[in-house]
Amino acid sequence: MKIEAIPGAPQDGDLEFVLATEKEFEEIVSMSHGIYGGLDYLPSRYHSWINEKDRMVVLAKKEGDVIGLLSMFVVDDGETALLEGLRVAPWERGRGVAGVLQRFCCQMVKHRYPSVRVVRLTRDDKLTPKELNKYRVIAKQGILLVRFNAPEFSSRLSSIPLPAGPSRPSPPILLSPEEVHAVFLERGGLLKDLLPHKTVIQDWQPFQALPGNHDLLHRKSLRWMADDNVRPRVASLCTPPFPVPAGPLCFYLNIDVFGSGLRGAQEQLLSHLAAHVPGLPADVKCQLFLPPTMWRPMADFCTSVLGFQLEKGYTEQYLLEADI
């Protein structure tokens, strides 16, 4: 469906903006080859995204062909628009299409959702000075990417020793929906001072720690853990694995860690792996987003204790914000 002209939105003679439908799926997949280091989530999310409440998936078309995609998702009680899935066809890159698409989508979201005050996005690449003028960097997490073979790891899982140390932390607790609310999302929630910018970053999606985000997060079937449900020091959430284009068959497993307490985090990692890995038939790329100081010891644990292969060195995920 062609999007009606929006007052004040940028015009570009060559480009037409439309809302994405099922019929563009193959075209989008073929122009996305090789992006995000093979961890592109869009092929798995596209069909639900185009029908999701408060989300718009906008395509830029040139002479009838799709050359760009950007999704805007309104969250945080209508205050924030998340900018996600951005991509431009390889043959159209470097000509400013991404900027035009973003400006168009920002105007559109402002027009349809007047309550939106800010846009937020996450990135792992370096920002140009111009971009640093445009966005505030409001939080960052370290990125730890490891790879392993699921059947091989599952066969060793029961013999992996628990993290060693003078006194073991209490076993990790799997949180009920009510506990998730209390630990992560209530205003003044138990974990709020440990979250980066009071934000729950689930994979690449940042959600302010607000009760209004509870139902949305609940629908994602996440696995939430903490070392304590009264005075948590470290908590984590794990997204169910899904296939990504990284290999003939490769799954992506994402775990987000907040707070401090390395051994608590290691125990929670082991619990998430034990819950999700057995039954997976192939290689897994597991990406942890974690406090930067936890990166090195967690990388050592993953390689020397769990026998995982480190896919790349330390990188960072930036949470960016701009007023609209």
Ligand X SMILES: CC(C)(COP(=O)(O)OP(=O)(O)OC[C@H]1O[C@@H](n2cnc3c(N)ncnc32)[C@H](O)[C@@H]1OP(=O)(O)O)[C@@H](O)C(=O)NCCC(=O)NCCS
* Residue ranges binding ligand X (CB under 6 A): 35, 86-88, 93-99, 123, 125, 130-131
> Least distance in Å: CB of 296 to ligand X?
25
State the minimum distance, in angstroms, from the CB of residue 31 to ligand X: 8
Instruction: Report the half-sphere exposure of 23 (CA within 13 A, side-chain side).
Output: 5
Structure tokens at 215: 């139902």
Min separation Cβ 324 and ligand X, Å: 13
> Least distance to ligand X from the beta carbon of 67, Å?
9
For residue 284, how many C-alpha atoms fall within 13 Å in the half-sphere facing its CB? 25
Residues 176, 213, 133, 293, Cα dihedral to 10°: 0
CA Rg, the chain, in Å?
20
Q: Beta-strand (E) ranges in the chain? A: 15-19, 55-62, 65-75, 80-88, 118-123, 136-149, 173-174, 199-202, 205-208, 223-226, 234-244, 250-259, 283-290, 309-310, 315-323
Between 12 and 228, name the residue whose CB sits nearer to ligand X. Answer: 12
CA dihedral of residues 31, 34, 37, 39 (deg, nearest 10) = 60
- Nearer of residues 41 and 308 to ligand X, judged by Cβ: 41
Question: What is the torsional sign of CA 173, 178, 180, 182?
Answer: negative
- Cβ-based nearer residue to ligand X, 11 or 304: 11
Closer to ligand X at the Cβ: 90 or 177?
90
236 burial class (0-12, 13-18, 19+ CB within 10 angstroms)? buried
Min dist CB 40 to ligand X, Å, is: 8
Q: Provide the minimum distance between the beta carbon of 107 and ligand X in the complex, in angstroms, as a whole number.
A: 13
Q: Exposed, middle or buried: residue 206 (CB in 10 Å: 0-12, 13-18, 19+)?
A: buried
**Residue 125 or 193 with smaller CB distance to ligand X:** 125
Distance (Å, rounded) from C-alpha 15 to C-alpha 9? 13
Q: What distance in Å separates the CA atoms of residue 182 and residue 197, rounded to the nearest whole number?
A: 17
- Tally the C-alpha atoms within 13 A of residue 254's C-alpha that lie toward its C-beta: 19
Residue 24 or 227: the one with the smaller Cβ distance to ligand X is 24
CB of 291 to ligand X, least distance (A): 21
Nearest-CB residue to ligand X?
A: 99
Closer residue to ligand X (CB): 3 or 86: 86
Give the shortest CB-182-to-ligand X separation in angstroms: 33
CB closer to ligand X, 18 vs 98: 98
